[in-house]
Chains A and B, each alone.
Chain A
């Protein structure tokens, strides 16, 4: 099977959906000729023109709000939010407008829009360009949140998101844009709300999101050398969350570590850990572990920045301690 980068996978997904449905269009900063600073949208303006690949001023609330209105009136906009940290700027339009319109109108108005943004530290981009804030939008009823962990997921999830009739926020890990993965040539979609078991094991379950999937994979390989077999579950979407797959896995292994790049406190790891504790309590042989980003503004200095996120070593160490009953 051919291998393409995450960036190419996103590009293909958008191009295919735009060919399929003329109401789909893209708006954001530097999306047209520049193809975004990450070059993900390179080439699209040549095929679809500036009417459908729309460069905006630096007005995040503005173009997010415009996307909401366009979606409410029959378009399917894809907003490109250059950095996930800018979620702060669009929160009113996303959380107060997009998320609630269908409900507040008693089911009459729909907001079929996608907001694509990124997450992930260790790029030396410092505190305001390195955050993983997906937990914020998971918290708002009415939104859906997808977390592709490789090029394969990126394409399949984005296509589903574009076809979904709800506001969907997709977070791409900015460190992964050049990473390749096998991606079929034939069309495929990954439904929102379906987790994937990427590695089977019997001793401990890793629930990992986005680039933490690769971290967990490496940790699992290290642990195999110690005779510990880890099972790896990638939720792929956080809202809706495929609880069933996660719980089945934990019931089998009786131990779990949730690994996510959002801040450790009050985030995704806590939510998933709580659901496991609620629903698989009597199958737990060890306390559920959480590994998120350190609760500090992300430092610039590389030696400090690299300490703030889970690594294969730290995950493996935590797993060993868990399996040995030390925690």
Chain B
């Protein structure tokens, strides 16, 4: 048999009371005349007796927090054995009015006796609760949450909302966030460009070696993707449990972008593209099958973007990396390119 102890109505004007201190702990034996808690009202601090013999099964309110009159603050059970069935830790009760989380404090799972006067159901929140707040991680689907007005203003100003999200602006994006994002909010491009030239022979030799050893033809672009993913992972310090998506396209042969997830982690013989929900960490345009030594298509390539071309010197590849320094620091970009160059020069390094 359990009894709910509620915040008592102590004054004419009072809606809430504050528990100044608990005089008993959970598990303590208690007599009806023992003081269970001290409650502060708008007039005075009052000692409240337990009212029942038994054991303190639960303390459901924190000290120092206003608790609405009538709300259950403690449970006393007749039987020591029933303490296990009651929640052990005090739950934070909320003051009157709509809490942001919107949930009413849960009633204790112990049975409630109908005839107890002091029993009351936990008081529901004051009004229909406010809707849930929306702290969101970056969406995997690529859909960005922004208010209609923010979306409209972003469109009018030429602001890329995705870029804002990458910059760390939390969703949902509001109008005030557009102002916070600074220059980025006005759609001004901020692209840095790095270039490196590397010998092509080791890369091609590696491709042939794998074909011989594993009897598998590896697509060159996929191999670049594998090396690039591994290099990026090393340069940014991301672990193998963090997903890196590389989106590759080639020219000619524009069948569309192909997304590879963690191409550095699977075996080289099983590099497969697949559907991915994630935003690409890197996009690659492979021009090596063409005559081109450089090609920057119009339009917004997602950054960072790596273009791989046949070098002006036929013994080399030329690699161009375009990136947003606000998202990828220049040092990291350099580290990436260096790692990538090293791996293509000594491919076995990649396999280790």
Q: Which residues of A contact B (CB under 8 A)?
A: 254, 264, 281-287, 289-292, 294-295, 303, 306-311, 313-314, 317-318, 321, 325-327
A285 touches B150 (CB 8 A): yes
> In the assembled complex, how far is the CB of residue A16 from the closest CB belonging to chain B, in whole angstroms?
39
A327 touches B130 (CB 8 A): yes
- Inter-chain CA distance A91–B90, complex, in Å, is 51
B98 touches A314 (CB 8 A): yes
Convert B72-99 into 0s and 1s, putting 1 for each residue whose CB lies closer than 8 angstroms to a CB of A.
0000000000000000000000001110
B126 surroundings in chain A (CB, below 8 A): 307, 311, 314
Among B68, B124, B133, B148, the residue within 8 A (CB) of A284 is B148
A314 touches B127 (CB 8 A): yes
- Inter-chain CA distance A313–B16, complex, in Å, is 14
- Inter-chain CA distance A285–B15, complex, in Å, is 35
A290 surroundings in chain B (CB, below 8 A): 128
Any chain A CB within 8 A of the CB of B152?
Answer: yes
Main secondary structure of the interface of B (DSSP, over half): loop
A286 surroundings in chain B (CB, below 8 A): 147, 174
- The tally of residues in B whose CB lies under 8 Å from a CB in A reads 28
Which of B70, B100, B151 has the most chain A CB within a 10 Å cutoff? Answer: B100
A-B contact pairs, 7 of them (CB 8 A): A254-B149, A282-B152, A289-B131, A291-B127, A317-B130, A318-B130, A327-B134
Convert B120-132 into 0s and 1s, putting 1 for each residue whose CB lies closer than 8 angstroms to a CB of A.
0001101110110
B133 surroundings in chain A (CB, below 8 A): 321, 326-327
A307 touches B123 (CB 8 A): yes
Any chain A CB within 8 A of the CB of B190?
Answer: no
B70 surroundings in chain A (CB, below 8 A): 303
B127 touches A287 (CB 8 A): no
Any chain A CB within 8 A of the CB of B69?
Answer: yes
Among A254, A309, A313, the residue within 8 A (CB) of B97 is A313
Counted as pairs of residues, one from A and one from B, with CB atoms less than 8 Å apart, the total is 74
- Inter-chain CA distance A292–B97, complex, in Å, is 13
Known: A309-B127, A325-B174. 15 other contacts (CB 8 A): A254-B149, A254-B175, A282-B149, A282-B151, A282-B152, A285-B150, A285-B175, A292-B128, A307-B96, A307-B127, A308-B127, A314-B98, A314-B126, A318-B130, A327-B133
B150 touches A326 (CB 8 A): no
B151 surroundings in chain A (CB, below 8 A): 282
B15 surroundings in chain A (CB, below 8 A): 303, 306
Convert B166-202 into 0s and 1s, putting 1 for each residue whose CB lies closer than 8 angstroms to a CB of A.
0000001011100000000000000000000000000
- Inter-chain CA distance A317–B127, complex, in Å, is 12
B97 surroundings in chain A (CB, below 8 A): 311, 313-314, 317
A285 touches B9 (CB 8 A): no
> In the assembled complex, how far is the CB of residue B215 from the closest CB belonging to chain A, in whole angstroms?
58
A282 touches B148 (CB 8 A): yes
- Inter-chain CA distance A70–B148, complex, in Å, is 52
- Inter-chain CA distance A313–B172, complex, in Å, is 26
By Cβ-Cβ distance, the 3 closest A-B pairs, closest first, are A285-B149, A314-B97, A285-B147
- Inter-chain CA distance A287–B130, complex, in Å, is 11
- Inter-chain CA distance A181–B124, complex, in Å, is 35
Which of B130, B151, B174 has the most chain A CB within a 10 Å cutoff? Answer: B130
> In the assembled complex, how far is the CB of residue A264 from the closest CB belonging to chain B, in whole angstroms?
5
Q: Known interface pairs A285-B175, A313-B96, A327-B130. Does A303 touch B69 (Cβ–Cβ under 8 Å)?
A: yes
B98 surroundings in chain A (CB, below 8 A): 314, 317-318
> In the assembled complex, how far is the CB of residue B12 from the closest CB belonging to chain A, in whole angstroms?
11
Task: Look across to chain A and name the residue whose beta carbon is closest to the beta carbon of B99.
Answer: A317
Task: Look across to chain A and name the residue whose beta carbon is closest to the beta carbon of B152.
Answer: A282
A287 touches B128 (CB 8 A): no
- Inter-chain CA distance A287–B174, complex, in Å, is 11
Among A254, A264, A284, A313, the residue within 8 A (CB) of B128 is A264
- Inter-chain CA distance A191–B152, complex, in Å, is 37
Residues of B14-48 at the interface with A, using a CB-CB cut-off of 8 Å, are 15
- Inter-chain CA distance A306–B15, complex, in Å, is 10
Among B68, B123, B131, B148, the residue within 8 A (CB) of A283 is B148
> In the assembled complex, how far is the CB of residue A215 from the closest CB belonging to chain B, in whole angstroms?
12
A264 surroundings in chain B (CB, below 8 A): 127-128
B131 touches A287 (CB 8 A): yes
B100 touches A326 (CB 8 A): yes
Task: Look across to chain B and name the residue whose beta carbon is closest to the beta carbon of A314.
Answer: B97
A317 surroundings in chain B (CB, below 8 A): 97-98, 130
B128 surroundings in chain A (CB, below 8 A): 264, 290-292, 294-295
